Structure 1
Amino acid sequence: MNSSRVLTWVLVCLVVCSAVAPGVAASAHADRTLDVSRVHDAPLQVETPDAQNNSTTQHENPDETDDSGDLSAVKGWLSGRMSETLVNCVRENRTLDRAVCSRLNRSYPDWVSKYVNVTRETESEQDDEVASRFNESRKEQQRFVESLTEFQETKEQYETARENGNTTRARELARELSKQAETVNESATNLNADFGWLSNETSANLTSSAEAISELSNNTTASAEQIRELEFVETSLSVSLNRSQIAYDSPVVLVGSLDAAGGETVANRTVRIRVGSQTHTVSTNSTGGFSLQYRPTLVSNNATTLDVAYIPRPTSLYDRSDATVPVSITQTNTTVTVTTSTDTVRFGDRLRIRGTATASGHGVADIPVRVVVGNRVLRTETGENGTFTHATDIPASLSTGTVSVRAALALDEQALRRSTAESTLVVNSTPTVLSVDAADVSSSNATVRGRLTTEDGEAVPNSVVRLQVNSTTVGRVRTNATGAFRSQVNLSAIDARQPTVVAVFDPQGGNLESATGRAQLTVPSAMDGGLDALTLVGAAAGLLILGLGGVFVARASGVLPPEMVTALLSALPGGTASRREDIESESTEDSTESPESNPESPSQPAQDAQLDALEAHLERGDVDAAVIGAYDLVREDFRRSFDLDSSFTHWEFLEHVRPHVTDDEMDAARELTESYETAAFAPEAVSEKRGTRAVEIATTRTGETDQF
């Protein structure tokens, strides 16, 4: 459009606004007077206490833990709720109904978090320990519930296999049940230790719960033992050595016999015999006898007995049996070698490290090996012939120059002595390239983005880039897995229309060379020798909208005659009498608000900006912030969409979302809530994979698709 046309619009709108302003002001004043009269007629709302209930509140509201109040009462309420949940979960496990146990993942984490906040006010180490124990009890009870659930599910599968006559599968499941029962017992022992401490050090009474845990554990053991006796034939293992003094360089002969219950022998079978940490496959003779040669490797050189076991295969009819023999162990020296696939490397190169471990001229298998390249530690183990191979990419942190490559057998007071070997490697420096540009530049800030690579285009991840504007450092950002970075920089203190943004990569140590990238910005100004075209068009558009409204107010109030209204509308772009009639017709329709016009709903550009901020958190490596932001964004979307109470805890909120969403949407919401709980409350950080997934969920929910 040309500038004369724009000026015409502006003049038309100014004329209309000037003409109708007095009438509009009078109308507005009248409305305000009416509103005041309504206020005087409104009844005064005062909350009064319930006359039927004159009892005092037992504990302070834990949602107000930041306010001053009775901290002891708050702690009492929180510990009571946590204790109650632990007790009820134990009770429900006894009845195989675990609905309340779900609170361990919902309300309980919030209670622990609030308890921690309260203990910060008390500055009591005892309170800190109580909070820690309650949290550990929650985690251990979850493990106990999970292991018990797994045992019961496996037991159901076992019973189904027996009913179907699937003997092979039934035996496999019976062995799994024995292992799972051991896990249940271990978890029960740990949980009862926590319950005992809490019962002794707090007002919580968990004694009956500890007894119930022991009962569940004992029942699990008894059930597994009953199934084991039903499925397997008991065996008996007897072994002896040709001498008790043993060493790797002086192997011994182990002679044994494997018998079954009822006087039968496990004859003419291939069986597995475990001696110490080594498993040998041997064949039994017609009487169940066998023999093998044994060289001690990882067994402690202070051991006085040697453990030997018959390890049946999962589908075997026979049960496991164990035996021990007295020994005295003498250490044997070892030799290790190490070589590299190349003598010279640089950043990103693939390096292969090879070596061998021997003792008394024999390659030693299954020995852990610790390899150190410069300051980087790698771990592997030897194969059947005593050799080992490990491949690694050269990291940026490895210093330039000649570095050592050391290999050591990771042994400590064992039958084999520790030994080491060393080689060298030359690390060359690698030039880098730093690109930078800017977007969304305003008078107050700009989005600076770029990428750090080697001169060959290989990404340089997890590296710090310093950002400067006109030689002033304004921030630092870390590159992501692709070498990219992105950050908002503040320009409000920069007194220049065309500042220069400089990105600097200046590593302190390592093998990457420094790099610098520059980008010149043009900061827009509202006044630059007068109004620019964009500003003029924007002002004209605003006045046009105001003017159109004024035309119809003027026509309705009689301020302007109809013929002047027609003339004014005709002066507007595309303005005709018929257009006026169309507008008048539209204005007489009911002004019901569409669902999309909810003033509380954010615009799509606003949501896009929030999503961009989450991506920026990920690129900077601040995964926790990205997860918390993603959760807040989705939670607010749910709150608006389903009219939910914002005071719910994160797990309570999730339960109120459930009736409104599909199963897939609920799964995604639960996954996001779990990640949020880790980011907000756990000491460990959320993994990059889970952080990326959280942002994906937020993007899917709040993006243009408006669905999971």
Structure 2
Amino acid sequence: MCSDREDSTVQGSHRWVAVSLLVALAVVVSGVAGPVTAQTQDAGPRDSDGFAQQSTPENATGTAEAANNSTARHVNPDNATDEETISELERVLAERLSGRLNESAARLSEGEYNRAQGELDEEYADLLSKYAEIEAERGNEELASEFERAAIEQRNLTLAAQEFNETLEAYQEAKRRGDEEEARRLAHRLNNISTRANVSEDRVREAYTNLSRETDENFSEARTRVAAVEENLTSTRNEIVAAELRATRLTLTTDDSHASFVDPMRVEGRLTLPNGSAVAEREITVAVGDRRYRTQTDSEGRFQLDYRPTTLSVNASEVTVRYVPDGASVYTASNGTLPISVEQVTATVDVEERTDRAAYGEQVVARGTLSVDGRPVPNYPLSIGTGGQSFVTSQTTGEGSFSANGSLPASVPSGERPLEVESTRSDAAVAVSARGEDFVVESTPTNLTLSVRQNGSSAVATGRLTTEDGQAIEGQPVRLSVGGETVERVETDADGRYEIRVGSGDVGSPTMAAAFDGSGSNLESSRATARLADGSWSNESEANASGGIGGEEAPSGTNRLMNSLFGWLFGSEGGGGGGSEFGDEPRDFTGVGIVAVVLASGWFLVRRLRSRRENETNDVEEETESEDTSETESPTAVFTADELLERGRVEQAIRLAYRSVQTAVTPMLDGSRRRQTHRQFYRACRRSGIAPQDDLDTLIETYEVAVYGEQTDDAGRVHEAVEAAQRLVRQFREDDAE
């Protein structure tokens, strides 16, 4: 419970924020009316509390901010509430997010795919992060999740539509050439793309429905547009499939629905055309749940196989059986289901080699075999870690062997720890849980730096967290305090760096400190302090040559206030004459509308309240996942992918193969960006015509399934993709030599 003094302090802070908001509003409103001069302006009529009334400004869409079109009463600071300010900020952010979703849907419906994606780029993510923080303050994270889901699925739908139309052009070109085999292969691809688009469209419309119900935003037109896009893809797909492919029917039976890895279920099936004619004497691929099998149909189209579940859930009551046609087959896929009762069995892990001791960032290795009653468990995903923390995953080979190799993360506490090999799924048909011998996790000293640059009336604190030998430490919390009071907490980036902007209201002490708390990890704590002396900030142990008061010419009056507000809200450098997305010159915000000030002031309020709570409690910081920023592989690295496959590292092998080809081919693609999605890279290669289509298709399709879909259990398919990648790299190396 807060003391009277603490409660008074909080109320005073809230009142100060309300007054700041009103002052900022008054400055902007007077700026909208015209430049301020030394003459006294007519403040207009005053209300009973003595506060001037102003005309209600219009928001970004030109509609009145309040129902009263002429005047709006200012709020008395004594009566202003934090909830009013935060609610306004929440409303405006939701409006901007919704506007971008609607505009993206409009661009998608017009076939303007790049513009549709652009509406959901980094700016959308920045707005969403601010909205999510406000919703988290209110305990309502679901709305932010819906905005995120809508954007993700709409991007997926846009990519699918773009890929569909490009593939359609290739299909039409194959038909003109008379290449029927290529046309069938592309027909299969169109079928698959359309299926993906259908799933994304369903999810987008569901997210729109939820957002419409929980907010005041209207998504009816966007729903209509995405539905029309999906209907057009489906209609075109149906026409092509009917012209190129023959539908199949899969009939399934089993004598006993009980199944375990040691006691398999016998699956009997028959593959026919809709008229009953058999798909006879063909080698086919049949997927049963989590496994794939190559089998042969007889003269009546019949086949049989023994299904041994590995990762299928023990709670499953039925299992899906699918006929998977080859790329250029004249037949379409078909599927059915069988009842199943799964009995879980426990596998034996034999660790043949392991790491004895490791420190942060060093490699932890575990090699061994996985079996049940002496039978190897193939293509099984494993997790290696300690204390419930997984820091490397692997997959067994077809012979049940595995080789895991990963870096030790900071989150594993120092000391003696057991090396644990477990299943990535607790409910799998094959259970794995093995506690190995202890290995030693060594503690690592750290070094934290702090540099402060004065930026007008505010300041920017930057620094870096590294090990003693200079290795960057990513994703660790750094707490900045001014005069002993916590101002902000941030996480270090991939280079170990952090940056914190300190508002003018917090720069009231000559001492600023940054601290990293390594408690509960294998990293030792560290701290850095900067002091304000003789008009400049300097580190206690080393003079700070990069900062200092007066280092930049600061704007004055209204522009300084607005620069600070825009810096807090939009993440720009803010203040001073520093460069930003708005240009290198000091920004003039005299005519900025009222909405921007409400956003900025509300955002400041949210951050200020959060900082106070963090200073009063020891809440655990929430960890976030960072995007993979691995360096591009050398093209010749693809020839080591076979070794990864032999060690059971299927996903790592296909990633290596893809990156190697991308590195070899990208310099030959005109106007190609360094970093592209795999589908953007694929389309660029197809447009240029410099890569053999079959090898490129094999690589990209396998990469997509392994990395973005369900984890592949088909090591043979990945092996084919690796061989395709090696052929591509050889070709481009020979081209370079010529």
User: Scaled by the length of structure 1, what TM-score is found?
Assistant: 0.53
What's 1:552 paired with?
none
The answer on whether the counterparts of 1:90 and 1:213 sit within 8 Å (CA) in structure 2 is: yes
The structure with more helix, counted as a fraction of residues: 1
- Residue matched to 2:314: 301
Superposed displacement of residue 424, structure 1: 1.0
1:637 alignment partner in structure 2? 583
2:237 aligns with: 224
Structure 2 residue identity aligned to 1:155: L
Counterpart contact for 1:337–1:421, Cα < 8 Å:
no
Instruction: Determine if contact 2:90/2:131 at 8 Å carries over to the other structure.
Output: no
How far the C-alpha of 1:84 sits from its partner, in A, is 8.0
What is aligned with 2:263?
Answer: 250
Is 2:420–2:433's contact at 8 Å kept on the other side of the alignment? no
Partner of 1:376 in structure 2?
A: 389
1:278 shift after superposition: 0.5
The answer on whether the counterparts of 1:178 and 1:224 sit within 8 Å (CA) in structure 2 is yes
C-alpha distance in structure 2 between counterparts of 1:111 and 1:347, whole Å: 31
1:213 is displaced (CA, Å) by: 4.2
Q: Residues 117-516 of structure 1 correspond to what in structure 2 (within 5 A)? A: 141-197=154-210, 207=220, 210-211=223-224, 213-260=226-273, 264-338=277-351, 340-374=353-387, 376-378=389-391, 379-429=393-443, 432=445, 453-454=467-468, 457=469, 459=471, 461-462=473-474, 507-508=518-519, 510-511=521-522
- Is 1:61 aligned to residue 7 of structure 2? no
Q: Give the Cα–Cα distance (whole angstroms) in 2 for the partners of residues 191 and 259 of structure 1.
A: 36
Which piece of structure 1 moves more, 483-492 or 273-282? 483-492
What amino acid maps onto 2:394 in structure 1?
A: T
Q: Which residue type is aligned with residue 425 of structure 1?
A: F
1:183 Cα deviation from its structure 2 partner: 2.8
Once the two structures are superposed, residues 303-343 of structure 1 have per-residue CA deviations (whole angstroms, 9 ceiling, x without a partner) of: 44332221011222221122333444333333234455332
CA distance in 2, matches of 1:450, 1:388: 37
Cα distance change, pair 59–74 in 1 and its aligned pair in 2 (3 A): farther
One-letter amino acid matched to 1:360: D
Rounded to whole Å, the distance in 2 between the matches of 1:204 and 1:623 is 22
Q: CA 1:350/1:269 → structure 2, altered by over 3 Å: closer, same or farther? A: same
Letter in 2 for 1:422: G
Contact 1:452–1:479 under 8 Å retained in 2: no
Label 1:355 to 1:157 Cα distance change in 2 as closer, same or farther (>3 A): same
SS in 2 for 1:634: coil
One-letter amino acid matched to 2:423: L
Equivalent pair of 1:93/1:145 in contact (CA under 8 Å): yes
Name the CA distance, whole Å, in 2 between partners of 1:376 and 1:154.
43
What residue number does 1:35 align with? none
Q: Distance in 1 between matches of 2:569 and 2:91?
A: 35
- Contact 2:59-2:595 at 8 Å conserved across structures: no
Q: Which runs of 5+ in 2 are unaligned?
A: 1-39, 43-54, 75-83, 537-550, 554-567, 597-606, 608-621, 632-738
Letter paired with 1:147? A
| Aligned AA (1:61) | N
The unaligned stretches of length 5 or more in structure 1 are 1-43, 47-56, 496-500, 526-604, 608-621, 652-678, 693-708
Q: Which string of whole-angstrom CA distances, capped at 9 and with x for unpartnered residues, describes residues 56-106 of structure 1?
A: x99843599799669999999999998788777656655546899689459
Structure-2 separation of matches of 1:156 and 1:187: 22
In the alignment, the residues of structure 1 paired with residue 105 and residue 460 of structure 2 have an alpha-carbon distance, to the nearest angstrom, of 56
Per-residue CA deviations over 1:41-70 (Å, capped at 9, x if unaligned) read xxx999xxxxxxxxxx99843599799669
- Counterpart Cα distance in 2 of 1:183 and 1:162: 24
The aligned counterpart of 2:31 is: none
Cα offsets for 1:187-225 (capped at 9, x unmatched): 332333344456666776655654554444333222212
- Alpha carbons 1:175, 1:314 under 8 Å: kept: yes
Distance of 1:330 and 1:686 partners within structure 2: 35
Amino acid in the other structure paired with 1:406? E
Look up the SS of the partner of 1:186 in the other structure.
helix
> In the aligned structure 2, how far is the partner of 1:686 from the partner of 1:213?
30
**Does the CA contact (< 8 Å) of 1:435 and 1:517 recur in 2?**
yes
- The alpha-carbon distance between structure 1 residues 411 and 626, as it changes in their structure 2 partners (threshold 3 A), is same
Name the count of aligned residue pairs. Answer: 501
**What is the rounded CA distance, in whole Å, between the counterparts of 1:245 and 1:405 in structure 2?**
34
Aligned twin of 2:20: none
The alpha-carbon distance between structure 1 residues 467 and 628, as it changes in their structure 2 partners (threshold 3 A), is closer
The CA deviation string for residues 163-197 of structure 1, in whole angstroms up to 9 with x for no partner, is 23333433333222222222332233233334445
What are the Cα deviations for residues 452-499 of structure 1, in whole angstroms up to 9, with x where unaligned?
A: 544xx3636357899999x9999999887677899999999889xxxx
In terms of Rg, which structure is larger? 1
1:209-253: CA deviation from partner (whole Å, max 9, x where unpaired) = 545544443332222122112121222333433544333222244
Partners of 2:501 and 2:226 in 1: CA distance: 54
2:519–2:525 contact (8 Å) kept in structure 1: no
- Kept in 2, the 8 Å contact 1:252–1:295? The answer is yes
Shift in CA distance, 199/173, structure 1 to aligned 2, threshold 3 Å? same
Work out whether residues 624 and 686 of structure 1, in 8 Å CA contact, stay in contact via their aligned partners in 2.
no
Give the distance between the partners of 1:86 and 1:381, measured in 2 at CA: 39
Q: Aligned AA for 2:401?
A: T
Tell me how far apart the structure 1 counterparts of residues 128 and 497 of structure 2 sit (CA, whole Å): 36
Matched AA of 2:327? P
CA distance in 2, matches of 1:488, 1:197: 36
Tell me how far apart the structure 1 counterparts of residues 214 and 530 of structure 2 sit (CA, whole Å).
63
Q: How far is the alpha carbon of 1:435 from its aligned partner? A: 10
Q: 2: distance between equivalents of 1:164 and 1:488?
A: 61
AA partner of residue 637 (structure 1):
G
Letter in 2 for 1:335: T
Pairs within 5 Å for 1:71-150: 96=111, 104-105=119-120, 141-150=154-163
Matched to 2:398, the amino acid is E
Note if contact 1:639-1:645 (Cα within 8 Å) is conserved in structure 2. Answer: no
CA contact (8 A) 1:409 1:420 kept: no
Deviation, structure 1 residue 359:
1.6
What TM-score comes out, normalization by structure 2 length? 0.51
Relative distance call for 1:644 and 1:291 in structure 2 (3 A) is same
Give the deviation of 1:132 after TM superposition: 7.8
State the 1:279 CA deviation.
0.4
Distance 2:491 2:94 in 1: 42
Farther-moved stretch of structure 1 (236-245 vs 95-104): 95-104
